[in-house]
Amino acid sequence: MTKRPTFKFDKELFKRSVEYNVRSMYRKDMEDATAQMIFQASAHALRDQIIDCWMNTQKAFEEQEPKQLVYLSMEFLMGRAFGNDAINLQAYQPIADALSELGFDINAIEDEEPDAALGNGGLGRLAACFLDSLATLRYPAYGCGIRYHYGMFKQKIEHGQQVEVPDNWLKHGNPLEIRRPEYTEEVHFGGYVTSYQVDGGRTMFRQEGYQCVNAVPYDMPVIGYGNGFVDTLRIWDAEPVEEFRLDSFDKGDYEKAVEDTNLAKLITEVLYPCDDHYQGKELRLKQQYFFVSASIQQAVNKYLTGNKDLMKLPEKYVFQMNDTHPTLTIPELMRILMDEHAMQWDEAWHVTTSCCAYTNHTIMAEALEKWPIELFSKLLPRIYQIVEEINRRFLLDVHAKYDNAGVNVQDKIRSMAIIFNGQVRMANLAIVASFSVNGVAALHTKILEEEVLKDFYDLYPQKFSNKTNGITQRRFLLHANPLLAEWVTAHVGEDWITDLSKISDLKLYADDPKAQKEFAQIRFRNKQRLAAYIREHNGIEVDPHSIFDVQVKRLHEYKRQLLNIMHVMYLYNCLKADPNFKMNKRTFIFGAKAAAGYVNAKLTIKLINSVADVINNDDSINGMIKVVFIEDYRVSNAEIIFAASDVSEQISTASKEASGTSNMKLMLNGALTIGTMDGANVEIAEEVGRENMFIFGLSSAEVLKYENNGGYDPYEIFNNDQNVRQVLMQLVNGTYSADNPELFRPLYDSLLKSSPQNPADRYFILKDFESYAAAQREVDKAYSDQKKWMKMSILNTACSGKFSSDRTIQEYVRDIWHLKQVSFPEDIPAKKSGTRAVPAK
Ligand code: 26Q
């Protein structure tokens, strides 16, 4: 049996290795090396030290042949690897010492690493947190995704407006990946389907005349915490099957070769930077099929090296689909089983539906993926045939169940058919062919079951479950907030690092004046660190004594950054109107990227920056309010922001935010939530108690009721609430856009005008405004009592145990994946490697 991979960091070896790498990679002495060179050399040195653990872990998989998870996701928002790997190897301090002995500061070296921004936001970061937990819990897992050459765009703010700059993250090479050309798979696009007969008269199908692309995998290590266990993130890059030959005289060949080369260059070029909004772009479908086909072919091939009976594939593999983006897993697996391994439909269906599971991340109708049949069938002719057959058989089942049952079958078909109105509906395909469908927070799952997917829930109640999201405390506390991490360890021991439920022992200290004082000091130092970041990046002075009020997330109307900034405008009006207006000093901090084509989102960024310009430069308010828009919000600066936040803005229109995860990261770091009863906020309230947060606004039931009745009339509020009216008028009278008073008219219109597609104020901003303002007054009041605030803050950290992705992963394992922890002979019953036991179901 493979020996337990143990990792022991060798500082002297590391130092020598860095020096050697600098020489061999750059032909430079240490004195002449740039910080980037030192980073590259250090990352290579680290990689050399973990390679044995990685190989041993993989060897253990080969020997023990455990069931493996393949987590399929178009996005893995990993952020930086170096510091996090150092943390998980429990070697951060020795590495910092080694670098310091070589004359470098580890923070500066970490800053040389570009974020691996292969994701948009929550969904991609969730995938990254899951990998961290899977490795820490010693589960055999592969993340499978795409090696985009350009990740999430970099955001520059020019004249208050977002400008997108390409993210060339591979410019200096990626030291923590390994190219594995020996595991290349071919992926086929287009062409046509032909049939042929085999012995016994059975008709078989195959795709011909297709375009061909090689999928070449790159592996990145995913290091478990303190256990020498290393899982793999496998991202696929596209390459032409054969570089075209310039000497080819056959014009047809030449053109085809050029086409294949161009296709390969395009597929993995760039991440689609839209979030929660579906666009029927052909290239996106190509990306989806590309990585799914490569991943599933690989899994089946690997399975067949040790096994013969494909009927037992579900005993060894589970394919978890992160949203509908990888739904082609279903017809692709059917195709491989039937066309390449001669399985019959029913058997292939049984295998496929026993392997595939689907996670839903949204109820927003505009985010549901639908592909026009034309486009789909042309690009994936054989896959389309299979989807058609799945649909045909499914509709037969629907008829069998509902004909003569006093139910309108046509209604059922309208909502559940996989192919409808000339479109392939990916969520419906995913639900019909998966053995498991889950939402990402209790409320979200309930809305899926009772409203959005009700017909499916009626049909397959046993498939549905909730798996409330989580985050990894290793990146978002241990690495992001070393001061607080150390303090927590001093009070409750270090077990929280792998078992966050242990952090609840901090409750004992919530009332303790000494603990409160220390906690306050740590928070203050983190706020100084963020203030320095803001000074450097924004040129704005902010007072670390002020309340740091933070909303960082993608920009979307349903997340209601507009509500936040309109409330800032209102507070500013109060200060201007009444010299005696009392409030605590507050710094409103925003960070958000908007999809490039999302007009209102981009305009909201402009508004925030315009409001910042006016308010920050108005001496008459004595700096009582500052507004800061942090450019290029991403994982690496998020870590600094979370550690320094007092107030966490989680103010989505109730029912719209499936879960949210920044709410959890901020809570863990001691921020108090102001929020609606939406997504995981509901569960945060259950854990910490409503009295330790600031809840406001319509409930999801109320929102859904208004929506079913065509909306509400915002004019009632406009006409009766003078505060709201004043703020609205300031959107169109040049207060914040003197040289173009009409600039913000579209935002104004979105709040007051209804159109055939959209009711006025469809996200209930005006409706919730008064309640939000009242909750903000409570925030202000609470902050005035610093003892009480620190108590609440400690309690938030103490009650965040549920929101570890370790807990989430244990639930997936228990209810859906049924994986076993990989063990090694000399494993002692792991003390530190478990999480809170999840009660058996
Ligand atoms: C789809 C089709 C074409 C192009 C892009 C897309 C696309 C890309 C990304 C659609 C959706 C996304 C991302 C969605 C997302 O991040 N959802 C968030 O998932 C989090 C993790 O579950 C939740 O916490 C958030 O509430 C949810 O908004």
SS3 string, 503-527, reads HHHHHHHCCCHHHHHHHHHHHHHHH
Rounded distance from Cα 832 to ligand 1 centre (Å): 33
Active site residue 454: no
**Cα R_g (the chain), whole angstroms:** 27
Confidence band of 199 (pLDDT split at 50, 70, 90) = confident
Asked if residue 828 has pLDDT above 50, the reply is no
Asked if residue 136 has pLDDT above 90, the reply is yes
Residue 615 CA to residue 571 CA, distance in Å, equals 11
Ligand 1 atom with the shortest distance to the CA of 125: 21
Rounded distance from Cα 151 to ligand 1 centre (Å): 15
- The amino acid sitting at 650 is Q
CB-based contact 332:292 (threshold 8 Å): yes
- DSSP calls for 792-836: HHHHHHHT-GGGBHHHHHHHHIIIII-------TT----SSS--S
Asked if residue 830 has pLDDT above 60, the reply is no
CB-based contact 53:4 (threshold 8 Å): no
CB atoms within 10 A of CB 374: 10
Query: What local confidence, expressed as pLDDT, does residue 276 receive?
Result: 67
- Per residue in 358-371, pLDDT tens? 999 999 988 899 99
Residue 641 CA to residue 666 CA, distance in Å, equals 9
- Per residue in 637-682, pLDDT tens? 999 999 999 999 999 999 999 999 999 999 999 999 999 999 999 9
Nearest to 360 by CA among 426, 459, 423: 426
Ligand 1 atom with the shortest distance to the CA of 444: 26
Confidence band of 4 (pLDDT split at 50, 70, 90) = low
122 lines ligand 1 (CB under 6 A): yes
369 lines ligand 1 (CB under 6 A): yes
Rounded distance from Cα 769 to ligand 1 centre (Å): 26
- Distance of CA 47 to CAs 42, 117, 772, Å? 9, 20, 49
Confidence band of 512 (pLDDT split at 50, 70, 90) = very high
Query: What local confidence, expressed as pLDDT, does residue 840 receive?
Result: 37
Active site residue 553: yes
Rounded distance from Cα 121 to ligand 1 centre (Å): 7
pTM: 0.96
SS3 at position 590: strand
Would you give the distance in Å from CA 713 to the centre of its chain? Answer: 35
Query: What local confidence, expressed as pLDDT, does residue 677 receive?
Result: 98
Query: What local confidence, expressed as pLDDT, does residue 244 receive?
Result: 62
Ligand 1 atom with the shortest distance to the CA of 440: 22
Active site residue 527: no
Tell me the best of 361, 552, 657 to mutate to test the pocket of ligand 1, counting ligand atoms within 8 Å of each CB and taking the most: 361
- Per residue in 121-135, pLDDT tens? 999 999 999 999 999
Asked if residue 1 has pLDDT above 70, the reply is no
Confidence band of 343 (pLDDT split at 50, 70, 90) = very high
| Percent of the chain's residues with pLDDT above 90 | 91
Strand partners, 70: 142, 319
679 lines ligand 1 (CB under 6 A): yes
Ligand 1 atom with the shortest distance to the CA of 124: 16
Residue 785, both tokens: 């009592």
Asked if residue 831 has pLDDT above 60, the reply is no
Asked if residue 37 has pLDDT above 60, the reply is yes
Confidence band of 254 (pLDDT split at 50, 70, 90) = confident
Mean pLDDT of 209-215: 97
Confidence band of 835 (pLDDT split at 50, 70, 90) = very low
Nearest to 215 by CA among 245, 189, 252: 189
Query: What local confidence, expressed as pLDDT, does residue 832 receive?
Result: 43
Mean pLDDT of 558-581: 98
Confidence band of 756 (pLDDT split at 50, 70, 90) = confident
Mean pLDDT of 618-627: 97
Asked if residue 836 has pLDDT above 60, the reply is no
Confidence band of 825 (pLDDT split at 50, 70, 90) = low
Asked if residue 455 has pLDDT above 50, the reply is yes
What size, in residues, is the chain?
Answer: 841
Nearest to 187 by CA among 170, 212, 167, 166: 212
Query: What local confidence, expressed as pLDDT, does residue 257 receive?
Result: 77
Residue 802 CA to residue 797 CA, distance in Å, equals 11
Q: Which residue has the least CA distance to atom 13 on ligand 1?
A: 275
Mean pLDDT of 616-644: 98
Nearest to 498 by CA among 700, 678, 229, 175: 229
Residue 335 CA to residue 319 CA, distance in Å, equals 16
| Bridge-based pairing state of the strands 436-439 and 464-466 | parallel
568 lines ligand 1 (CB under 6 A): no
Confidence band of 280 (pLDDT split at 50, 70, 90) = confident
Residue 511 CA to residue 792 CA, distance in Å, equals 9
Mean pLDDT of 548-554: 98
Active site residue 361: yes
115 lines ligand 1 (CB under 6 A): no
- Per residue in 514-538, pLDDT tens? 999 999 999 999 999 999 999 999 9
Residue 826, both tokens: 């000399």
- Per residue in 375-410, pLDDT tens? 999 999 999 999 999 999 999 999 999 999 999 999
660 lines ligand 1 (CB under 6 A): yes
- Per residue in 61-118, pLDDT tens? 999 999 999 999 999 999 999 999 999 999 999 999 999 999 999 999 999 999 999 9
Burial class of residue 620, CB neighbours in 10 A (0-12, 13-18, 19+): exposed
- DSSP calls for 629-646: E-TT--HHHHHHHHHT-S
Query: What local confidence, expressed as pLDDT, does residue 810 receive?
Result: 98
Active site residue 559: yes
Mean pLDDT of all residues belonging to the chain: 95
Tell me the best of 126, 323, 812 to mutate to test the pocket of ligand 1, counting ligand atoms within 8 Å of each CB and taking the most: 323
279 lines ligand 1 (CB under 6 A): yes
For CA atoms 240, 242, 246, 248, give the dihedral sign.
negative
